[in-house]
Structure 1
Amino acid sequence: MEIVRDLFAQDPIFPFALLLGIILVVPLCFERLQLPGLVGLLVAGVVFGPHGLQLLESGSEAMKLLSDIGVVYLMFVAGLEMDIAQFQRVRDRALGFGFLTFLFPLIAGTIVGRWFGFDWNASILLGSLLSSHTPLGYPILSRMGLMGNEAVIVALGGTIFTNIPALLVLAICVGVKTGNFTPVELLILIVSLSLYSAVVLWGVNWVGKEFFRRSGDEEGNQFLFILLAVFVAAVGAQVIGVEKIIGAFLAGMAVNEVVESETVKEKVVFVGSVLFIPMFIINLGLLIDLQEFAKGLASFGLTIAIVGALLGSKWIAAVGTQWLYRYTRAETIAIWSLSIPQVAATLAATIVGYRQGILTEEVLNSAIVMMLVTATLGPWVTARVAGALPLPEADLGAIATTFDETEAQVGHLFTVVVPVCNPETERYLVEMAALLARSEAGQIVSLSIARSIAYMEVSALDEAIARGERLANEAVEFARSMGVSARGILRIDSDVALGIVHGSREQNASAIVMGWSETTSLRSRLFGNAIDSVLWGAHCPVAVTRLLASPMQMQRILVLVDRAIAQSVLSVRVAFILASANQGEVTLLYAGDRHTSPEVHEQIGAQLSQLVAQWSGSTPSQIAILADDDPVGAIVTASARYDLAILRSTRRRTVAGLEIDDLTTQLLRQLPLSLVMLGEPE
């Protein structure tokens, strides 16, 4: 073991390789145990750190650099996920809530600090840790179509008015600790921070637009510009005397206004979420001494006081917001649940306070416990109360009409692209595509990808090309036998998924119909499969199918809708196309838990009725609403009498990598009938 430790101490490549291995393997193992991957990274830091196997050292230059990049990235992502447009709509009310949810936790935390014998500087910093929050529950509300609810927008908008003042308090406390604090210094700091914030928020916007106008929309340039903006903003924050995490947070907000490409944003977040942010979390684990951790938590006094102060003060702020703006009790609980998770800003500020010697190891340990408790409790409460929140008003009939008009005015022939690679599933795919193309008087394009890799033998490539041409031609002949216009194309590409995405774009596809591939291999689980890549990269709707019988024989069609009814328009439209072609029937099914209020069920029924009235025509249809504590089980039971189920693909990511249970994923595994999963471009 000593030899191994010497290698790790002498060459930074060894600890870096270990970090990569931890990030790759540990979260997967913990998620299989139904535990967040974040917890696994913390545990790994403890196990491999100076108080465990001593293979990683938080004080090393390499670890400091990687951890600093991680904390900057963490705050950048927190700022990037601010929805500025939504915030502008309820700015005044968000300001009111932000003031309350900053002030009360600040006071409560300060009282706790003084009660346990900390000085005023440490006590106030402790209070500022409780003031900020990361609304981890917002993906749940987004999936349920509740992002238009005013109370939800106010809670999310209030994040801006809590995180920035909390970070300002951190800057002041650090200044006091280093002896650089006077009233004049405070005034200079506030003025400097105001000017600096304006330069970052508006300067990045202007410089970014000018840069992209002159250099083009190449994604590599945009990616590098975002990284440069983040780290220049972080350096600028340190120049004016505040922590770099403040600059990273402001840079995240500014980038929202500069880069329009969601793909580029996803790539930037991806690099941070899979590499640098996990390294910061691991470094946090390196700081934990289990013996001291056990001693600090033996009485649970400080930890219970901090967690209790946080939950109580955030509740008082939520109730105050309810009293000011006349929100319902369910909306009040939702506001509270969104404001209690302590992840991004709290993690960053805690580690800064600890490194500066303001906060003790006991406070650090308690903050970690608070983070784990609130990061779990917040989304859980959000999910429980979401069923009682009223849906935003939406005219689904108007949306459906707009959908039809858009289809009719696209200005080109309706084209369904069918990627073909498996002769056994090709026939059913073409039948499904033919039903869709025929309804719009369109055409089918069978797309075959011949995969070519570096140093590939010419004979192997020739064989792949010949096989691809044969599959494409067979699909064309079969489509024409069904009376649908069709043609085949062959692409040579090093990546099958990119070949499908690019080929569909070149053909100006209106939709893509592709077959199912089970994600069973280790490579697929770690890096995703072709379906994942096509769903993320396609410019048009994608229908991923698992067909157990001919689509021409499917007459009983079940459409699974969630509370985001407006996002289910495509699913309902496809269902009525298929049912009309086969003289079948359509059932629209919503399955929620028993916490969903009867009023919300009535709203859902009314909105679904608008869609049925728009498209049903002479096709028999019905609406079913179920309330069950096990929605997946209820759907599986209800699906027994149907031939085909249509559901919508959902895509979500949270700031800290915490995963939200995906209903779609569970249904894909358990439904025993033919399936069509529809994904739409972002």
Structure 2
Amino acid sequence: MESLLHVVQQPIVPFAILLAVILTVPPLFERLRLPGLVGLLAAGVILGPNALKILDTKQPTMELLSDIGLVYLMFVAGLEVDMEQFRKTKYRSAGFGTFTFIVPLIFGTTVGRVFGFDWNASILIGSLFASHTLLAYPIVSRLGVVGNEAVTVTIGATIFTDIGALLVLAVCIAIHKGEFSLTSLFTLLGMLIAYSAIVLFGFDWAGRQFFRRTGDDQGNQFLFVLLAVFLAALGAELIGVEKIVGAFLAGLAVNDAIGEGPVKEKVIFVGSVLFIPVFFVDMGLLIDIPGFLKSLSSIWLTLAIVFGLITSKFLAAFFASLIYRYNKQEMLTMWSLSMPQVAATLAATLVGYRAGILSEGVLNSVLVLMLVTATLGPLITSKVATGLRVQETLVEPVKPKSEIESEITIDNKLSSRFTIVVPVRNPQTERFLIEIAAILAKHEGGRILPLAIPQAHAQMDASELDQALKRNQILLNRAMEMSRELGVEAEPILRIDDAVPQGISRASRENNANLIVMGWSNRASFRARLFGNVIDGVLWASHCPVAITRLLDSPSKIGRILVPMENFTNQAVRLIRFAKILADANQAQITLLNVCDRRTSDTKIAWTTSQMNLLAEKWMPDINTDIKVVANDDIVKAVLIASQLSDLVVLRSERQRTAGGLAMSNITTEIVQQLHCSFVLLGEPQKNYREVVSY
């Protein structure tokens, strides 16, 4: 009995319980169509001191992991700010950022004063209103409307609102500690400015230098990023401000250095599956539901905070739309994007609560606010952002068809022939890969480059390398035989490299490839997400588009092709043109599918149908085409039903993005995991490379 009691008291026990909660609870709630973070909060309530008393916020394990989660949450919030989008509209972003900071700050401060809080606490409540989390970014990305100016401005405004809210938090904490005077205020602001400059410019320079010198050493790069965030957090505390300020600035600082690469994906993954969920469980431990329900004033406070936040964000978007002349749809999109209160709001609330400035009623109210806005914001975005005009929309095309067709991936002068690189590793899928590459190459009058990469490492002896070379040479010989049989020109490449993904990317770049055709592998496993796989590595590093294929039968037998589409941009054109090439080769039928909400008006459905007909007439005049607009709230289910009558589904592969470190579901991933037919995923190249596909 004593030994059992000794084991139960070990710090590892709460950690094991937390892992079990994180592993099982979010998927269960998502099956019930509830956000996973709601499950984490609920688990905290049930396991906390107000229920089963299994976990407590004062346990050393909880304190450590929750603090790391708090820092990580703000770091990821800074890391995921799209600096490239921000630079495009920085002045208008500053304007909207000012509106969506000042107006909610006034509303929140007023709510605080009405409910009897002092000026310091009231202003801090106002600052909680001021920030926002881009929880609906994956939705506007999937809809292809990120290029709309109103969306870009809202994304850029995140920097101003979050920094402003964190500065207010720092001043309020200093006032609460009795350290406030005009001299101390100016001293604090001066130290903040100097500290921010050191972090933003110093860490950015150090990151660029370190990443340049370490090349492909992702392990050390990952550790560098972690070191940067915790050094910045400690530095913030040294100058007398909260560590979450330093964490957010560190995220902004290493943003450009880390880029959109596998290291960023791993950093976010570690946070989203471990530390940030622990933070939400810890927040749940603080919730006293019985006490909250007994207090009538707390309920009124909650209603005032929720109503005040939603109203103030709407007014901020309305004022910005008047000044910048955005239409109603753009104004509503700005409102819905700036409504969710998750990352900075929760972090600042917890800091204020621990410091004794905010009451338990405010803490509970902010948690309710988070749940309401995290649900309502993305829901409204999905309704109002559909059909937003962007620069490349086909309704008013910026580029004529002839110009799109003539452009080549990097530099047309460097490569006059369409080139497709086909990495060959699996003998069982090699035949179909060569076949589909041959169809594309014939259509463009180009060539294919079968690529085999024997992987070498430091501990590898000569005999192992010889065996690897022989195996890969056999694959290349088979690829050449198939190419001759199919009547397409092929040039084999045998390349020794220490990493297969980098080898594929380097060979493609050296040969000015226009397309990479690869086989599919499971990307959903824990190991693949943590360490990455070949597909991930190529997608992150490729300078040209990547076609990821899972072919259950020969491409020559494809008779019915399904192309789901949500928008009518040039990205949609690429999917259509890819499908057209396969349809030309096999006299196949193409079905263009759009899934809309059940509440979509008949006028909107008619407009969508007409746009899809225009696409078909313009890009597939000689193809047997079927246009379908299906009203269904479940996009995945609608696509899967349509795929039952298809031999191949052509989808767009999107770069995974989280919102404030919270893992967001990817509709494309859900679809491919359940498809029972062949599919092709067209992946986008790196942002740094100009990319227009010629096929």
- TM tier, shorter chain? 0.7 to 0.9
1:238-257 equivalences in 2 (<5 Å): 238-257=237-256
Equivalent pair of 1:87/1:153 in contact (CA under 8 Å) = yes
Matched-pair contact (CA < 8 Å) for 1:421–1:468:
no
CA contact (8 A) 2:272 2:663 kept: no
- Deviations 1:392-432 (Å, cap 9, x if unpaired)? 34535366235446586554882432545364x55434322
Secondary structure in structure 2 of the residue aligned to 1:677: strand
| Aligned counterparts, 1:602-641, within 5 A | 613=618, 619-620=622-623, 624=627, 626=629, 628-630=631-633
- Within 5 A, what are the aligned runs for 1:265-276? 265-276=264-275
Contact 2:85 / 2:156 at 8 angstroms: preserved in 1?
Answer: yes
Task: Please state how far the C-alpha of 1:524 moved relative to its aligned partner.
Answer: 8.0
Aligned to 1:171: 170
SS of equivalent residue, structure 2 residue 400:
helix
Task: Check the 8 A contact 1:417/1:444 in 2, yes or no.
Answer: yes
Partners in 2 of 1:416 and 1:359 — Cα distance?
Answer: 59
Q: Secondary structure at the match of 2:564?
A: strand
45 and 418 in structure 1: CA distance in 2 versus 1, 3 angstrom threshold: same
Matching of residue 284 in structure 1 with residue 283 in structure 2: yes
Structure 1 residues 210 and 445: CA distance shift in structure 2, 3 A: closer
Contact in 1 for aligned 2:547/2:680 (Cα 8 Å): yes
CA shift digits 1:460-504 (9 cap, x unpaired) = x9999998877665555344322235577899999xxx6466456
Aligned-partner Cα distance in 2 for 1:88–1:600: 36
Structure 1 equivalent of residue 439 of structure 2: 435
| Aligned counterpart in structure 2 of residue 576 of structure 1, from 569, 574, 580 | 580
Aligned to 2:309: 310
8 Å contact kept, 1:450–1:490: no
1:638-657 paired onto structure 2 within 5 Å = 643-656=647-660
What is the one-letter code of the residue matched to 1:202?
A: F
Whole-angstrom CA distance in 2 between matches of 1:216 and 1:640: 45
Q: CA deviation at 1:158?
A: 1.9
* Contact persistence 1:444–1:486 (CA under 8 A): yes
State whether structure 2 residue 339 is matched by structure 1 residue 340.
yes
Q: In the TM superposition, what are the counterparts of 1:427-576 in structure 2 within 5 Å?
A: 427-439=431-443, 440-445=445-450, 447=452, 474-485=478-489, 499=500, 502-503=503-504, 505-506=506-507, 511-515=515-519, 535=539, 540-563=544-567, 565-576=569-580
Match of 2:7 in 1: 7
**Amino acid aligned to 1:98:** G
For the residues of structure 1 that align with 2:527 and 2:228, how far apart are their CA atoms?
Answer: 34
What do the CA deviations read for 1:596-623 (whole angstroms, capped 9, x no partner)?
896898699779958975x65x843658
Is the aligned partner of 1:401 residue 2:400?
no
Q: Is this contact kept in 1: 2:612–2:627, CA < 8 A?
A: no
Amino acid at match of 1:266: E
Post-superposition CA distance 1:608-663 (Å, at most 9, x none)? 958975x65x8436584736345566656766775533221223322245555544
Residue range with higher mean Cα deviation, 535-544 or 126-135: 535-544
Distance, in Å, in 2 between the alignment partners of 1:29 and 1:4 is 31
- The alpha-carbon deviation at position 75 of structure 1 amounts to 0.9
1:63-96 CA distance string (max 9 Å, x none): 3222222111111111122223322333333223
Report the AA paired with residue 655 of structure 1: A
Which residue identity is paired with 1:651? Answer: R
CA contact (8 A) 1:596 1:627 kept: no
| Cross-structure match for 2:66 | 67
- Tell me how far 1:310 sits from its aligned partner: 0.9
1:450 and 1:268, CA in 2 relative to 1: closer, same or farther beyond 3 A? closer
Asked whether the equivalents of residues 591 and 628 of structure 2 are also in contact (C-alpha less than 8 Å), the reply is no
CA–CA distance in structure 2, aligned partners of residues 322 and 504 of structure 1: 44
Q: Could you say if the C-alpha distance between residues 302 and 2 of structure 1 is closer, same or farther in structure 2, counting changes exceeding 3 Å?
A: farther
Aligned to 2:422: 417
CA apart distance, 1:383 = 0.5
Return the letter of the residue paired with 1:390. Answer: R
**Residues 550 and 213 (structure 1 numbering): CA distance in 2 closer, same or farther, change over 3 Å?**
closer
Shift of 1:136: 1.0
1:241-289: CA deviations, max 9, x gaps? Answer: 2111111112211222333452222222222222222222222222223
Cα distance 1:464–1:233, how it changes in 2: closer, same or farther (>3 A)?
A: closer
C-alpha displacement of 1:129: 0.9
Deviates more, 1:503-512 or 1:225-234: 503-512
Q: What is the CA–CA distance in structure 2 between the aligned matches of 1:245 and 1:296, rounded to whole Å?
A: 31
Cα deviation 1:330-367 (Å, max 9, x = unaligned): 11111111111110101110110111111111211111
**Which amino acid letter does the alignment assign opposite residue 80 of structure 1?**
L
Shift of 1:368: 1.0
Provide, for residues 81-129 of structure 1, a one-character-per-residue CA deviation record: whole Å limited to 9, x for no partner.
2223322333333223222222222222222222222222222211211
Task: Report the Cα offset of residue 21 of structure 1.
Answer: 3.2
Contact (CA 8 Å) 2:550, 2:678: kept in 1 or not?
A: yes
Q: 1:491 to 1:144 in 2, by over 3 A?
A: same
Distance 1:228 1:515 in 2: 37
Distance 2:580 2:502 in 1: 27
Paired with 1:604 and 1:231, the residues of 2 have a C-alpha distance of 52
Q: Which amino acid aligns with 1:39?
A: V
User: Secondary structure of the equivalent of 2:680?
Assistant: strand
Cα pair 1:105 1:314 within 8 Å, conserved: yes
Q: Secondary structure at the match of 1:268?
A: helix
Q: Give the equivalent residue in structure 1 for 2:39.
A: 40
Report the RMSD for the aligned CA atoms in angstroms. Answer: 4.1
- 2:161 maps to 162
Q: Tell me the distance in 1 between the aligned counterparts of 2:77 and 2:279.
A: 15
CA distance in 2, matches of 1:525, 1:191: 42
8 Å contact 1:585–1:619 — kept in the other structure? no
**SS of the counterpart of 2:421?**
strand
Q: Secondary structure at the match of 1:59?
A: coil
Letter in 2 for 1:626: V
Q: Is the 8 A contact 2:236 2:243 kept in 1?
A: yes
Change (3 A) 1:291 1:468: farther
Contact 2:272–2:662 (Cα < 8 Å) also in 1: no
Contact in 2 for aligned 1:418/1:447 (Cα 8 Å) = yes
Over 3 Å counting, the alpha-carbon distance change for 1:358 and 1:536 in structure 2 is same
TM-score after normalising by structure 1? 0.85
The Cα of 1:307 is off from its aligned counterpart by 0.8
Alpha-carbon distance in 2 for matches of 1:596, 1:128: 39
Instruction: Give the structure-2-normalised TM-score.
Output: 0.83
CA–CA separation in structure 1 for the residues paired with 2:210 and 2:520: 42
Aligned length: 673
Give the aligned residue type for 1:482: L
SS in 2 for 1:300: helix
Deviation at 1:379?
Answer: 0.7
SS at match of 1:543: strand
The CA distance in 1 between the partners of 2:528 and 2:261, in whole Å, is: 24
Structure 1 residues 60, 677: closer, same or farther in 2, change over 3 A? same
Cα pair distance change 1:506/1:106, threshold 3 Å: same
CA contact (8 A) 2:302 2:365 kept: yes
Q: Which moved more, 1:339-348 or 1:215-224?
A: 215-224
The residue number in structure 1 matching 2:692 is none
The separation in 2 between residues aligned to 1:634 and 1:388, in whole angstroms, is 20
Q: Distance in 1 between matches of 2:489 and 2:636?
A: 40
Return 534-543 or 115-124, whichever deviates more.
Answer: 534-543
CA distance in 1: counterparts of 2:414 and 2:614, whole angstroms: 27
Which whole-Å CA distance do the structure 2 matches of 1:193 and 1:426 have between them?
58
CA distance in 2, matches of 1:374, 1:4: 45
Q: Which amino acid aligns with 1:371?
A: M
What is the one-letter code of the residue matched to 1:442? R
| Contact 1:586-1:619 at 8 Å conserved across structures | no
What secondary structure does 1:76 align onto?
helix
Aligned partners of 1:397 and 1:610 also within 8 Å: no
Deviates more, 1:38-47 or 1:556-565: 556-565
Amino acid at match of 2:442: R
Taking the TM superposition and a 5 Å limit, the aligned residue runs for 1:332-371 are: 332-371=331-370
Q: 1:287-310 CA deviation, whole Å, 9 max, x = no partner?
A: 223433443479722211111111
* Overall identity of the aligned pairs, in %: 51
**Structure 1 residue 203 and structure 2 residue 202: aligned?**
yes
Change beyond 3 A, Cα 1:268–1:600 = farther
- Cα deviation for residue 4 of structure 1 reads 5.6
